[in-house]
Structure 1
Amino acid sequence: MTIVNFRITRFQFARDRVVGDSQVRTTEANIAALELISDTGQVGLGFMQILFSVVPDQVEIERSFAHEVWPSLEGQRAIALVHRVSRPRGGNQRSSTLPFHEAVQVALWDLAAKEVGLPLHRMLGSRRDRVKCYASGLDFHLSDEHFTALFAQAVEQGYRAFKIKVGHEDFERDLHRLDLLRGVVPAGSQVMIDPNEAWNAKEAIVKLEAIRRAGHDLLWVEDPILRDDYDGLRMLRRSVTWTQINSGEYLDLNGKRLLLGANGADLLNVHGQVTDVMHIGWLAAAVGVPVSLGNTFLEVGVHMAAALPEVEWVEFSFQNFEHLVDEPIAIQDGYIIAPDRPGHGLTLSESARAEWARPHVLTPDQIGPAPANQRLRTFA
């Protein structure tokens, strides 16, 4: 089953709400679907997303992929590539023009698992098919009304763990949002906060203690300070003993290794690069640091979460991408369930390709209304 062709589909559509944190915001989705096609007709699917700028025209995406990535894939078997180790030296240590890295890893693993007829999580060695899931609002720019409506819907859907965005320049607003959340979710719920590096280390200690005095227990605080302030993160771990420091989201594989070596995280946050996640997951287990799965496109991270025994949580943030695939990954009663289908279990929807493919860049006034969110009622 060798890789003989590829197909790229560009999507651009409005978000159903303003998505963002203390540093950024976005109102549209810019996505490219990558399909790697084998000589037997099997397809491996991955997605490239650019969060805060526009994905170029499809012809430019295809040109860049064909020039920079395709020569290393053509004629190869996916299963022979997923563990390949490259030598990071000199000019070899560079990124592609567009962020294909995650899309390629996911598509290769999807195709490799299909080669052996296994669900991806089984191929990765899982002993379970479900992991606890927490509701994440990406809610920093929502009004109080929409903030409470979102988390009220999450409660209705069976979630019992919730993460909100903090890091506002007015700290009273952070405390206010925690109060609002407490008024919506059941007593005893797990609560996490994410300042997205808005604070420095000393500031974080002061604000976390103020949050505790206000009566809020936190399961963890995520990325409270700069990603590579390893000394500051280690100081936080030692000073704030009543909650956990979750970090590593913004670091590459080597940065995560350095973070672990610096004892800078109680939990290591990983995302969607399958090979990288498994590598750093094994290393984290060796030093006794649990892993949490942050946002992954269409929740493909459930496969890695199910396969890494120390993963307790997977993030879900109602990002309104389910219309892109035929059968989204299921979430029930606060658990995300790994599909039992070969590969990662996601297939690009032909109706979505027909309706939402946008080969050329659209201006904001051309995008039109957002697709209906299959997991969240509209805020309009």
Structure 2
Amino acid sequence: MPDPVITAVDLHRLPTRYPRTVGRNARLGSHGSGGESAVAVLRTDTGQVGWGLTEGTGGDPRTVVGRPLSELVDPATGVRDLDHAWLDIALHDLLGVVHDLPVHALLGSRGATTVEVYDGAIYFDDLDPEDSPVGAAVAVENCRADTALGHRSFKLKIGRGNRWMSRADGDKRDVLITRSVREAFPEAKVLVDANDGYDLDGFRRYLDQVADCDLYWVEEPFLDDADDLATLRRHLDAVSPTTRIAEGETSPDVDALLPVAAAGHIDVLLMDVMSYGLTRWRALMPELERIGTVASPHAWGRPLKTLYAAQMAAGLGNVEVVEGVPGTTDLVDDTAYQFADGHLTVPDRPGFGLPVPQL
């Protein structure tokens, strides 16, 4: 195979736009209307180009320029040096272009190319505007709006009593919204995410009041604690046995979480598709399969992350549903990805199948 040399790393920022302003969660204030997405474009001496989102503050492009692609990324495992993990997406995209393969094929094509997606944008919009909150009904309204975009399943942020309301009033509102969405969408998968906004006892009280809502999963109910997660699993087995426990988004200590998952007290691991990255996911997935734990990489914040997560699902398998981020990224043509009835089909195009933006 050809082994192109990186001749330039161009860094840009692209506006990202949500269909509405997204409100607070249990820990953070308003998530705004989209912000910007940092991207890197890798250019080579052969004229082949790869690009993708970057994460965090990035690294030094000078450590990449002048080096052949084979020194930077291994088709079988991913980025060779984690100092270059900030270019994980762009390097995988370029690798796919050079090999004339979609990323999911590079990863092994172990999953289906049509992937179920849930709507991750149902936040605490009921609490805004602060001087005249719109109230609980907006959660169902937002679900209906996102249904028009193609969504069929919804992840609800809960934990209002952690910061924004009194504990009693916040917990009551969480229950009301959970039950309202379930009533309005009886066939939908309904997931809840507390962003560690409860303690064990409080979360068990919440579950007792929504036990008939058939929650698909509960995400980060409280700060990670192996004993508390074991107790939560026993409680769920009693009141809602099919509901899964999802963990691993916030500052994950993966080595500490794996034994908890192996014991059956975490069902889904959520490390971010960008900050954890494709390369680390590639190394981890066989171990998750061995212990019977599924993956669903966190993708919130930037719509492109949903596309990357879907490619990972199609490539590595062992991913049953991925997080959807409604919205668009300026100058990015993502029409090769087909989204309908809550499912996203990834394209059979080289790399991530996204043309290089005309920057």
Matching residue's letter, 1:171: D
Query: Is this contact kept in 1: 2:271–2:297, CA < 8 A?
Result: yes
Which aligned pairs between 1:198-213 and structure 2 lie closer than 5 A? 198-212=197-211
Residues 84 and 148 (structure 1), Cα distance of their counterparts in 2 relative to 1, 3 Å cut: closer
2:27 corresponds to 1:23: yes
Decide whether the 8 Å contact of 2:152 with 2:188 is kept in 1: yes
TM-superposed CA distance for 1:288, in Å, is 0.8
Runs of 4+ off more than 4 Å = 12-15, 84-87
Query: Please, what TM-score do these two structures have when normalized by structure 1?
Result: 0.76
Contact 1:20-1:138 within 8 A present in 2 as well: no
SS state of the match for residue 21, structure 2? strand
Whole-Å separation in 1 of the counterparts to 2:25 and 2:190? 17
Change (3 A) 1:84 1:153: closer
User: What's the offset of the Cα at 1:125?
Assistant: 0.8
Instruction: Render the CA deviation track for 1:299-348: whole Å, top value 9, x for unaligned.
Output: 21111111233211011131x23434122432122211112110011234
Asked if 2 retains the 8 angstrom alpha-carbon contact of 1:198 and 1:224, the reply is: yes
Query: Counterpart in 1 of 2:166?
Result: none
Distance in 1 separating the partners of 2:247 and 2:8: 38
Kindly provide the amino acid, as one letter, of the partner of residue 26 in structure 1. H
Residue pairs, 1:137-216, within 5 angstroms: 137-142=121-126, 143=134, 144-169=136-161, 170-185=170-185, 187-212=186-211, 215-216=212-213
CA deviations 1:246-287 (Å, max 9, x no partner) are 1111244xx223201123411111331111122222211111
Q: Which runs of 5+ in 1 are unaligned?
A: 51-60, 88-95, 354-380
| Structure 1 SS opposite 2:39 | strand
**Residue in 2 aligned with 1:116?**
99
* Residues 183/122 of structure 1: CA separation in 2 closer, same or farther (3 Å cut): same
* Cα 1:336–1:14 shift into 2, 3 Å: closer
Q: Are the counterparts in 2 of residues 246 and 269 from structure 1 also a CA contact under 8 Å?
A: yes
The amino acid across from 2:197 in the alignment is A
The alignment of Structure 1 onto Structure 2 pairs a total of residues equal to: 318
TM-score under structure 2 length normalisation: 0.80
Measured in 2, the distance between the counterparts of 1:189 and 1:13 equals 27
- Is 1:223 equivalent to 2:220 in the alignment? yes
Contact 2:17 2:328 in 1 (8 A): no
How many angstroms apart in 2 are the aligned matches of 1:315 and 1:162? Answer: 9
Matched, 1:130 2:131: no
- Cα deviation digits, residues 48-75 of structure 1 (max 9, x gap): 366xxxxxxxxxx7xx743xx5315641
- Match status 1:240 vs 2:247: no
- Asked if the contact 1:271–1:277 (Cα under 8 Å) also holds between the matched residues in 2, the reply is no
| Structure 1 partner of 2:257 | 259
Shift of 1:349: 2.9
RMSD over aligned Cα atoms: 2.6
- What secondary structure, in the 3-state scheme, does the structure 1 residue paired with 2:213 have? coil
> Residue type matched to 2:121 in 1?
G
Between stretches 115-124 and 16-25, larger displacement belongs to 16-25
User: For each residue in 1:206-229, what CA deviation from the matched residue of structure 2 results, as whole angstroms up to 9, or x when unmatched?
Assistant: 2212221xx322111011111x42
Deviation of 1:44 after TM superposition, in Å, equals 1.6
Which residue identity does 1:230 align to in structure 2? A
- Tell me the amino acid that sits aligned with residue 261 of structure 1: P
Conserved 8 A contact 2:155-2:193: yes
- What SS does structure 1 have at the residue aligned with 2:9? strand
| Residue 84 (structure 1) shift | 4.8
Verify: 1:71 aligned to 2:63, yes or no: yes
Q: Is the 8 A contact 1:199 1:224 kept in 2?
A: yes
**Aligned match for 2:330, one of 323, 328, 349:** 323
Aligned to 2:39: 33
Give the match's secondary structure for 1:262.
Answer: helix
Give the Å deviation of 1:31: 2.3
Tell me the CA shift for residue 86 of structure 1: 5.0
Partners of 1:339 and 1:110 in 2: CA distance: 13
Structure 2 distance, partners of 1:48, 1:138, is 25
Partner of 1:358: none
Percent identity (aligned)? 27
Judge conservation of contact 2:198–2:221 (CA < 8 Å) in 1: yes
Once residues 213 and 196 of structure 2 are traced to their aligned partners in structure 1, the CA distance between those partners, rounded to angstroms, is: 20
Offset at residue 157 of structure 1 (A): 4.5
Change (3 A) 1:301 1:202: same
